[in-house]
Structure 1
Amino acid sequence: MYRGNFEVEDYIVERSALRHADVDGNVISLSEAEGRAPRLELTVSETALHFRSLDETINRFWIRIHADNDEHVWGGGEQMSYFDMRGRRFPLWTSEPGVGRDKTSEITFKSDLKDKAGGDYYNTNYPQPTYISSARYALHVETTAYSVFDFRRKTFHEIETWAVPERIELFAAPNFVELVEALSLRFGRQPELPDWVYKGAIIGLKDGVNSFERLEKMRNAGVQVSGLWCEDWVGLRQTSFGSRLFWDWQANDERYPDLRERIAELNGEGIRFLGYVNPYLCVDGSLFPEAEAAGYFAKDQLGRTAIVDFGEFDCGVVDFTNRQAADWFAEEVIGRRMLDFGLTGWMADFGEYLPIDVELSNGIDAKLMHNAWPTLWAEVNAKAIASRGKTGEALFFMRAGFTGVQKHCPLLWGGDQSVDFSRHDGLVTVMCAALSSGVLGNAYHHSDIGGYTSLFGNVRTPELLMRWAEMAAFTPVMRSHEGNRPRDNIQIDQDPEVLDHFARMTRIYVHLAPYLKTLSKEAAARGLPVQRPLFLHHEHDPKTYAIQDAYLYGSELLVAPVWHAAQEVRSVYLPGGADWVHVWSGVEYTGGEEVTVASPIGCPPVFYRSDAAFAETFKALKGM
């Protein structure tokens, strides 16, 4: 690992096919040939295959699943580049997703050269060894080991894990909606969105005390605001990457004097204050000595506190397998220094950085705990909120995840996209991320409006910022971000045209709040995501199966954001079985065909079903 980026290599000494099976009821003993000692035991239950290794030398596992030539598969956690995973190989290992994520691009090359940080199409903060098939079944591998889903063969899918999995779970349903419902019930469902969220955008500013004045300027310009998010509430340090936060999770009086009082004032105006936290403590902060004295950090192989370089500053890793350490972080850090201080939400960052060579309290190999770490981190946050009776009111959002994160994390965000229109790291990847994670039980997804990562001269344009805001208006949560280099990149309040456009998009978001509330209730009750693949409600139209740059917002709206620069028309496929009305022109189209519509800035392609229950609400968008 180098700052959350991993190089993974393997050398296979022997790969043995277990061709012979001895069957005793529902227990199958597998061996290489008749008369040879069994090496693996398989127990078949109604919904799962349970495995037990009979040979301690087995440390790799492969299984092939029958596939049809025309089959589609989706899932794999939060995938950024490809929603339909068929035809590609996907390692499943939580990590930094990489900058650029395209080995043919200049920015990826430069990022690889400088910090080994370029990434590839499969790198993701949130992997999960689960997929849904167009054959209307889902498969989940219950393991935390490094895994690979390989969908490159025509007649089979191959699953590889670097440990014998506990079990493989199978789900089947007559339609995709019921299949997604079953998966969300298995992995966990989120509560309804807090009422305060529907009032507008969460404005991300990290400008110290100036943030309050800038917020007021935006409000005076007509921006509808639900929250002020100041990740720099803990103070800053300067690095070559840009301004980084001071990882000592408590209010910084120098940067935000009288913050508790300012938070109270905002609350009085119906605006919530949000901050930032992650599961690590910097060595030069005040919390580090306390945690070290109590033995709350993961250890190195000499029994000392393991120190991790996070990019020009060092930190200790709080060991969440130590129940006392997890409880301390939930109560003393999140509970007392954040919730009791007045915060109503925060970015719960990182989670993918657990080094594979540390020693943990539970004695389990860190290579097996690495993927599990984001879920433990989510649980710590959720426990802190529950301890204050604020579940469903306080809102934290995460980029890292793994199996079971759905049960604890109320909101995902897409991570650190580049501030551009690039195919593998720009605006379009956010849609793919929402769809892939959504079918696995994550109901709510959102992103940094305008992207985050600005490196090697790559900076935002006003067009990108406005196009991203258009998409965000049709997602569960609107939230802006200044990015890693705020001074180099245009901000919402620096350009009158951008500010006016953003204000209009927040008004559209608020206008749609009654509709979004019904989707939130549906998510809590049934586990259906707010942003849905077109095939979820149009499964008899196979042309919808590979679409990843458009989505259903609930069942009644179809949103196809513009994700190319300088594009003012866009072709959109409208699913069959329904008639669709173009929001901005009022023109009605018959489903089952591709249409081309004008898409100037301010008018992203959005359609509603002609028989929609909220048709009058959608029709009113034309005049906004």
Structure 2
Amino acid sequence: MRFHHSRQILAFLLLLSPVAACATAGPGQDVPASVFERIGGGIVVIPEEGEARRVRLQVYGPGTIRVTATPDADLDLPASLMVTAEPSTTPFEVETRGDLVRLRTDHTTAEVSRRTGAVRFLDETGAVVLAERAGGREIAPITVEDQTGDHIFQTTRQVWESPPDEAFYGLGQHQQGVMNYRGKDVELAQHNMDVGIPLVVSSRNYGVLWDNNSITRFGDPRPYGMLDQRLILRDATGRFGGLTASYYQDDELRVQRQEREINYEYIRDQQGWPEGFKAQPAQPVQVGDMGRTGQDGVRVVWEGTIETPDAGEHKFKLYSSGYAKVWIDGELVIDRWRQNWNPWFHDFEVDLPADRAIAVRVEWIPGDGYIALRHLDPLPDADHGALSMWSEVGHAIDYYYIGGDSLDAVIAGYRGLTGKATLLPRWAYGFWQSRQRYNTQAEVVDTVRRYRELGLPIDNVVQDWFYWPEDAWGSHAFDPARFPDPGQMVRDVHALDANIILSVWPKFYPTTEHYRQLDAIGGMYTRNVEMGARDWLGPGYANSFYDPYLPAARALYWKQISDSMGAFDFDGWWLDSVEPDMHSNLDIAERTLRMGPTAIGPGALVFNSYPLVNAEGVYQGFRAEQPDTRTYILTRSAWGGLQRTGSVLWSGDVVARWDDLREQISAGLNTGLSGLPNWTHDIGGFSVEARYSAGPMTPEDKAEWDELNLRWFQFGAITPVFRSHGEFPLREVYNLAAPGTPLYDALAAQMRLRYRLMPYIYTLAGDTWHRDGTIMRGLVMDFPGDAAVRDINDQYMFGPALMAAPVHVYGARSRSVYFPAGTDWYDLHTGARHSGGRRETVDAPLERIPLFVRAGAILPTGPEITHTAEKLDGPITLTIYAGADGRFELYDDAGTTYGYERGEFARIPLLWDQSAGVLTLGDRAGAYPGMPASRTFRIRWIDGETPTATDFDGPASRTVEYVGHAMRITRP
């Protein structure tokens, strides 16, 4: 393979090059030239022992150090897909002390053992922050096979020591409801709903960006195995060797046999069904039916006992779709449903005693779905909480240590490496309406028109997939029978003061001209077609995905979109299925083969990075054509650096259940802690159970459906991007509830609250670029000294002022809320005051989400509007929540251009002095085209129960005209 040839030449040249002595020695020491080599931006150490022949440290900033450890002398690695930064000019010194070579900046010291090559990091006080474990580096050759032959790469692992009180966050967006990943196992392998980003951040204020694009595991590096691999199984009669598997048809037992594993995990595993029960998961279905048909009345039950010689915490993963329940020792531990074509994992742990049989029972109603139950033995105690990263395929161990004095500083360091978070257009922070899917041009326009007629706020509508002729996926062409004039559709939406984005996939039918063009330059993955794979439309069509790693293919992909759609003036692009998802139910080995060979190596080498490279091509292409129009991209997957592409990540095809609503909270929080500030989710859940969609609902089901949508809608309004989407039932507010009903009024009130908060929200948005801010914030970011917040997975800060506590339990009209220590809190709706540092049960009436405001906060709200471009010069109400000093800087810019990158923006500093009772409006800093010369500020104070707490148009304590110069307003 060409990589190896170039690496060998460079390795030979490196061995011939002279070794340079460092400029700075330790006190009273002469540094021998053989100790290390000084290179541009860092040093190279040659360890005496261990698996790495070279350890390189490079300075990327005062607190950011790159560590590269290679099994040979070659340090010339392929260019990073995630990291765009180069080694910095930050001054550093090097010295030796005994066994250690020390590289020191003003903020961080990295020490390398000359004997073992192990690295540790110290802060400016000399305290150790992070240290590689002795013997914790593993590098081993691995052979990777793809269509072009065998290739030799490295499997890598690094383990760092971790104190017992350390907490870990980030790692992307995962659907397990976990906030703190200490002691947890996370596999980074892109999938619909599950998004890996190889950044882990610590409560000790550092981050590790693991620069490897292959399948990666945080935590235990061992793969989970089937039950029989490490457990002793007995069936329901006590016989060794497996569990009793009972197959029912319409509650009649048809087949019963012993099975040593529960495994219908992938398409390949479906051959294991008993005769007469074989699933049909891969059959095409008619357009609009995203489910599968067949297998009605089928139920499978596995029961028996499990036993282990190893006492301790055993980990299990249930991979399932359809309805699945698991009981361990009589306790129900899993009760889930997922749409049949989109199974996923549900993790649970069980503390098992040694050498005692424990009852297990699994019930499954498959609905043509998939299932597998996997298990992992306990780790040794020393490894249980360690920080560990393992990758399947790579060239070397390559990671970046990012130190800071806060988690915000760590996120800023990550973006310094991988790119700043591009500021989205203002309209992106308004309300989004879509569905799966609008079938005609008229449906799209009429949706926006109906919102306008009802006076409900809306900024955006989305045309989802299948606007093209049935047999022309990838043509980027509208079906003229349903969309006779796409340009007029866009103009009609714009005339209604709204925006429209369009779904474009990296998927092509071989019959399209676009496929042929890409294939002609070597820009298509062909194995999917060669294997005879068919998708789910109509009779099923051959299809595959393009190779974005080939620059010419990436450029052609955008050109095809632009040539086909550019004249219509769409406002942004929905990049769906970018994992890429050739089929949701392929096993990983086959999926990897179908994702390559790529232009830069086997699919296994770049497994996780497709969504980044794809989005970057679209972003760069759009921006090159419209250099001063902010790009908007909605994408279903991500990778490190996605924030630089003007993209919003959404959480995929989650389902309409309460557990899934709860899991979106921590999924969004850890996305923010992975450096991506713009995140969204399908309000109400994308796929729904038949009890909601197959016909008229029962009164009981209708009540639950209404409440689930309202609670999810309330949560969605307090997330970075507010977006309603899903399968039938229709999700437009006026379809969820009739105007004039309490449900409609509650939905409308939540929308109006979101729009009243727009001055606050847009300031948070501006801060994502200007100050590397994070909008949706884990409590640990703002209250690092309060250990009680570290594991809280269902509360969060929305900017610096607001704390949200979404309701995610059916029928709940109250919920437990922890109020972080160090401040008092106000109920946004009532003004009721709560002391920090304790947990309380608070009211959670159906019509509103529990929202709390930090004492000292200055909360700006705007006039009532129906879209974000309305009343941009309107009055601003400043509500000061008394009890502590506070500050806020109100941000604004033109809203749709890249002028903010050129310095075209303004800030108004606001300062509240609690003891003096004075609010100061500081001198306005900066300007932008179209900026109002003056602003009306209405000022009010909250310091206790206030019936009019959210009446932002109610009487103000003071009203002032602000013309850009400092003003002091004393509280009456």
Per the TM superposition, whether the score is higher than 0.5 is yes
Match of 1:464 among 689, 708, 716: 708
Structure 2 residue corresponding to 1:610, chosen from 833, 840, 855: 855
2:288 pairs with 1:52: no
- Superposition deviation, residue 68 in structure 1: 0.7
Match of 2:795 in 1: 550
2:186 maps to which of 83, 86, 90: 90
Give 1:288 shift. Answer: 2.9
Residues 445-460 of structure 1: pairs in structure 2 closer than 5 A = 445-455=679-689, 457=691
Q: TM-score, normalising length from structure 1?
A: 0.82
Report the secondary structure of 1:249's partner residue.
coil
Residue 367 (structure 1) shift: 0.6
Pairing 1:492–2:723 present = no
Q: Deviations over 1:360-389 (max 9, x none)?
A: 352511111221211111112202221222
Q: Report the AA paired with residue 70 of structure 2.
A: R
8 Å contact kept, 2:684–2:709? yes
Q: In angstroms, what is the RMSD of aligned CA positions?
A: 2.8
The structure 2 residue matched to 1:585, chosen from 830, 844, 857, is: 830
CA–CA separation in structure 2 for the residues paired with 1:547 and 1:392: 39
1:298 to 485, 500, 525: 525
Does 2:296 correspond to 1:278?
A: no
Higher helix share: 1
Q: Matches of 1:279 and 1:369 in 2, distance apart?
A: 16
User: 2 CA distance for matches of 1:568 and 1:155?
Assistant: 37
Please state how far the C-alpha of 1:481 moved relative to its aligned partner.
Answer: 1.0
Could you tell me which residue of structure 2 aligns to residue 196 of structure 1?
427
> Offset at 1:420?
1.3
Q: 1:593 to 1:392 in 2, by over 3 A?
A: farther
Q: Which amino acid aligns with 1:325?
A: A
Q: Please tell me the residue identity of whatever aligns with 2:801.
A: E
Measured in 2, the distance between the counterparts of 1:339 and 1:308 equals 31
SS at match of 2:197: strand
**For residue 356 of structure 1, what is the amino acid of its counterpart?**
T
Question: Which residues of structure 2 form unaligned runs of 5+?
Answer: 1-33, 38-42, 60-64, 73-138, 143-153, 221-378, 582-590, 694-703, 861-876, 880-941, 943-947, 953-972
**Aligned match for 1:206, one of 438, 455, 472:** 438
Question: Which deviations, in whole Å up to 9, do the C-alpha atoms of 1:537-589 show, x marking residues without a partner?
Answer: 11111111111211111010001111111111111111111111101221011
Kept after mapping to 1: 8 A contact 2:827/2:853: yes
2:388 is the counterpart of 1:158: yes
Q: Taking structure 2 as the reference length, what is the TM-score of the superposition?
A: 0.54
**Post-superposition offset of 1:32:** 6.7
Cα distance in 2, alignment partners of residues 394 and 24 from structure 1:
46
Q: Does structure 2 conserve the Cα–Cα contact (< 8 Å) formed by 1:128 and 1:402?
A: yes
Q: CA deviation at 1:471?
A: 1.1
* Residue pairs, 1:437-452, within 5 angstroms: 437-452=671-686
Equivalent residue letter for 2:667: A
Corresponding residue number in structure 1 for 2:162: 67
Distance 1:63 1:221, change over 3 A: same
1:344 and 1:393 in contact (8 A); partners too: no
Letter in 2 for 1:506: M
Q: Which segments of 5 or more consecutive residues in structure 1 lack a partner in the other structure?
A: 1-21, 98-123, 239-244
1:170 aligns with 2:397: no
Q: Report the CA distance shift for 1:28/1:185 in structure 2 as closer, same or farther (over 3 A).
A: closer
Task: State the match for 1:139 in structure 2.
Answer: 208
Q: Decide whether aligned partners of structure 1 residues 456 and 201 sit closer, same or farther in structure 2, where only a CA change above 3 A counts.
A: closer
| 1:296-335 alignment runs, 5 A limit | 296-300=523-527, 309-311=534-536, 312-333=540-561, 335=562
Larger CA Rg, structure 1 vs 2: 2
SS state at 1:393 partner: coil
Higher percent of residues as strand: 2
1:622 to 941, 950, 953: 950
Does the C-alpha gap of structure 1 residues 141 and 603 become closer, same or farther in structure 2, counting only changes over 3 Å?
Answer: same
Question: How far is 1:250 from its partner?
Answer: 2.7
- How far apart in 2 are the matches of 1:592 and 1:247? 55
CA distance in 2, matches of 1:515, 1:259: 35
- Listed one character per residue, the Cα deviations across residues 213-238 of structure 1 (whole Å, up to 9, x for unaligned) are 23322332232110111214624759
Are 1:264 and 2:264 matched, yes or no?
A: no
Aligned length: 557
1:42 aligns with 2:55: yes
CA contact (8 A) 1:559 1:607 kept: yes
Query: Which amino acid in the other structure matches residue 817 of structure 2?
Result: V
State the AA in 2 paired with 1:212: V
Aligned position for 2:870: none
Per-residue CA deviations over 1:318-355 (Å, capped at 9, x if unaligned) read 1112222111111221x233343121023211221274
In 1: Cα distance, 2:631 partner to 2:210 partner: 32
1:22-54 per-position Cα deviation (integer Å, ceiling 9, x unaligned): 964654456777xxxx66432234512212222
Q: 2:565 matched to which residue of 1?
A: 338
Deviation at residue 183 of structure 1 after TM alignment = 1.6
Percent identity for Structure 1 against Structure 2: 19
Task: Identify if the C-alpha distance between structure 1 residues 316 and 233 changes in structure 2 by more than 3 Å, giving closer, same or farther.
Answer: closer
CA contact (8 A) 2:157 2:389 kept: yes
Is 1:396 equivalent to 2:633 in the alignment?
yes
Greater Cα shift, 563-572 or 304-313: 304-313
Is residue 415–residue 641 contact of structure 2 (8 Å, CA) maintained in 1?
A: no
Mapped to 1, the partners of 2:385 and 2:748 lie a distance apart of 51
2:174 maps to which of 79, 84, 89: 79
- Residue 490 and residue 175 in structure 1: after superposition, are their counterparts in 2 closer, same or farther (change >3 A)? closer
- Indicate how the Cα distance of structure 1 residues 617 and 39 shifts in structure 2: closer, same or farther if over 3 A, else same: closer
The structure whose RCO (Cα within 8 Å, separation 6+) is larger is: 1
Q: 1:391 to 1:67 in 2, by over 3 A?
A: farther
- Quote the residue 1:529 is aligned against: 774
Whole-angstrom distance in 2 between the partners of 1:149 and 1:199: 36
Of 747, 752, 758, 1:502 maps to 747
Distance 1:382 1:345, change over 3 A: same
